[in-house]
Amino acid sequence: MACVLLRPDPKALFDQLQNMFSSTVLGGAKVIPESNEWYVVSNDYAMAEQYFAIADQLWRENNPETACCDNLYQMAAQRGIYPRPATHAEGYAKLSGVVGSPVPPSLEIQTTIGTFVSVGTTPLTIPNSGEIVVRIRALTPGPEYNSAGEITTGTLNASAPGINGEVQICGGQFCGGADAESCEAFRKRYLERLAYQPRATMAWIKAKLLEFPCATRVCVREGTCCRCTPECSDCIECGCKYCGTRMEFYVLFDDVFPCGIPPQNIVDDITTWLFGDPQGYGEGQVEIGVCGKIYAPVPLLVNVFIDIEGCPSSAQKQMIADQIREIFKRICPSLPLRVKQMDLIVASVIGAEVNSQVRFEIVGYEDQVPPFPRDLVWVTTCGDLEPECDVLPCLNEVIFVAPDTRKPAC
């Protein structure tokens, strides 16, 4: 039995009705065109076509792939899914001022593309560093307030004692501004949601964290942070889950903050947004019973020295440097950084037959505030870096060694 009533061809339908009328009313006589009988058959045909058209429409309107927009919205609303409204662009502004100066709970910042207001957690006073970072949001929603590195400064609309009137836009970026979701975009998202019902999986949580304005990558807190604690009873390997449901992540913002590491107040905002406050009650983005925390890693600045035998071309050097930068943009905190990774990049560009040597140099200990503890990274005998918990290696510079400054091989 067919699941769908097939709509007959128009001529076949007319002929069918004409033959039925001929056999039941005219006793088998032929229906003469333009006669009264012919118009009766034509009227029956029109009603049959209207029935099939209505049936087709009813079938289409119960299918989210073909339903019109109004019916699609009503269908999705029954499952608690609604079109997304227009969203506001957001970014991060760095304020400077006199240490201890009170920070107003609400700030308005004027830029060349519009006015932005502070949102989220704002420090109460200017800390000892003399700088704070606040999250800011455009007053008006829409994509016209997004930018990708063009807007670098702004000014406070109202002066605040002890705080400089000019502010710096971190990375020159504003992200997330969008028009209201279109019908077809909503249809695509709704169909994807129907096809994938589960929530709070690892993939889902990572994708959700990337929805935070300007976030570029998410790392699970693992590696040297994994500890087997007394809370873990009868377990051999706890991993980073402590035998419970606590989820721990790093959220990084490349090209927005130095080394991609957000300040603590932004980290706290992300934790509250994802897990809710109090946690475990489903007041954030995750399911009831899921708890966790977002961490801000400590940056470890690293120079990469590359010694290549012979004379590599400028293009080869540029290619090697670009690939190393990409590697560092994918590195997660608390995980080893191997010299072999760099060796493979160099060999892929200049060839494995050319001798080369790569070594790391940790820099910037004395310049960091507070000073970076040297015991938070272990350098192996072959030069690999094994950072301690919550330490993120960050590329400072790629340096190609000149022949007169070469050092003996490892």
Count: domains in the chain: 4
* Same domain, residue pair 270 and 306: no
Residue found by looking up tokens 């927009």 in the block: 69
272-319 per-position pLDDT tens digit: 999 998 888 889 998 888 889 999 999 999 999 999 988 888 999 999
| Tokens 């470890």, located at residue | 300
Q: Are 145 and 174 spatial neighbours (Cβ–Cβ below 8 Å)? A: yes
Pairing of strands 108-111, 153-156: antiparallel
- Residue 3: which pLDDT band, with cuts at 50, 70 and 90? low
pLDDT band with cut points at 50, 70 and 90 for residue 6:
confident
One domain, residues 52 and 102 = no
Rounded to whole angstroms, how far apart are CA atoms 135 and 95? 11
Q: So what's the pLDDT on residue 199?
A: 64
CB 106 within 8 Å of CB 118:
yes
Using N-to-C axis directions, what is the helix angle for 339-350 and 314-328, rounded to 10°? 150
pTM of the model: 0.74
Task: State the pLDDT at residue 370.
Answer: 45
Q: Give the pLDDT band (50/70/90) at residue 363.
A: confident
Number of residues in the chain: 410
**Residues linked to residue 174 through DSSP beta bridges, in sequence order:** 91, 147
- Cross-strand pairs, 169: 93
Q: Is residue 5 part of a domain?
A: no
* H or E segment and range at residue 6: none
Nearest CA to 147 among 122, 184, 116, 117?
116
Q: With beta carbons less than 8 A apart as the criterion, state whether 7 and 60 touch.
A: no
Same domain, yes or no, for 98 and 31? Answer: no
Of the candidates 358, 209, 365, the residue with the CA atom closest to the CA atom of residue 299: 365
| Burial profile 32-63: b = 16 or more Cβ within 10 angstroms, e = fewer | eeeeebeeebbebbeebeeeeeeeeeeeebee
Looking only at the bridges linking them, the beta strands covering 385-387 and 291-295 are unpaired
Q: Do the domain assignments include residue 73?
A: no
14-63 tens-digit pLDDT: 888 888 888 878 887 888 888 888 888 888 888 888 888 777 777 788 88
Q: Please give the structure tokens belonging to residue 282.
A: 């489903």
Quote the CA–CA distance of 388 and 204 in Å, as a whole number.
28
Query: Of the residues 43, 61, 79, which one is the last residue of a structural domain?
Result: 61
Instruction: Specify whether 223 is located in the same domain as 279.
Output: yes
- A 10 A CB-CB count for 395 gives 18
Are 290 and 304 members of one domain?
no
Domain annotation covers residue 338: yes
Looking at the predicted structure, is the pLDDT value of residue 229 above 80?
A: no
Same domain, 21 and 103: no
Q: And the tokens for 245?
A: 């449901």
Q: What share of the chain is helix, strand, coil (3-state, %, to 5)?
A: 30, 25, 45
Under 8 Å CB-to-CB from 191, ≥6 apart: which residues?
64, 65
pLDDT in tens, 201-211: 788 899 999 99
Helix/strand/coil for 69: helix
- Element containing residue 190 per DSSP (H, E): helix 183-195
| 265, two tokens | 């107040």
Whether residues 226 and 265 share a domain: the answer is: yes
- Residue 210 placed within a domain: yes
Q: Are 133 and 267 in contact (CB under 8 A)?
A: no
Q: What is the DSSP string of 79-145?
A: TT--PPPPB--EEEEEEEB-TTPBPPSS-EEEETTEEEEEES---SB--TTSEEEEEEEESS-SGGG
Question: Domain residues for 50?
Answer: 10-61
pLDDT at 67 over 70: yes
What CA–CA distance (Å, rounded) separates 98 from 100? 6
Q: Answer yes or no: do 229 and 268 share one domain.
A: yes
Amino acid at 172: G
**CA–CA gap between residue 176 and residue 350 (Å, rounded):** 41
pLDDT at 241: 45
Query: Whose CA is closest to 332, among 241, 206, 201?
Result: 206
Cβ(64)–Cβ(58) below 8 Å: no
pLDDT of residue 213: 93
392 C-beta neighbours (distance < 10 Å), count: 23
Q: Is residue 4 part of a domain?
A: no
Q: For residues 240 and 154, state if they share a domain.
A: no
Give me the mean pLDDT over the 178-184 stretch. 95
Q: Is position 261 within any domain?
A: yes
74 falls within a domain:
no
* Backbone dihedral angles phi then psi of residue 306, each to the nearest 5 degrees: -125, 125
pLDDT-based confidence at 225, cuts 50/70/90? confident
Q: How far is C-alpha 289 from the chain's CA centre? A: 24
pLDDT in tens, 261-279: 999 999 999 999 999 988 8
Q: Are residues 392 and 330 in the same domain?
A: yes
The token pair at 31 is 């229906």
Domain annotation covers residue 140:
yes
**pLDDT the model gives residue 227:** 60
Do residues 393 and 325 share a domain? yes
320: its two tokens: 């090697």
- Cα Rg of the chain (Å, integer): 32
Average pLDDT over residues 339-349: 92
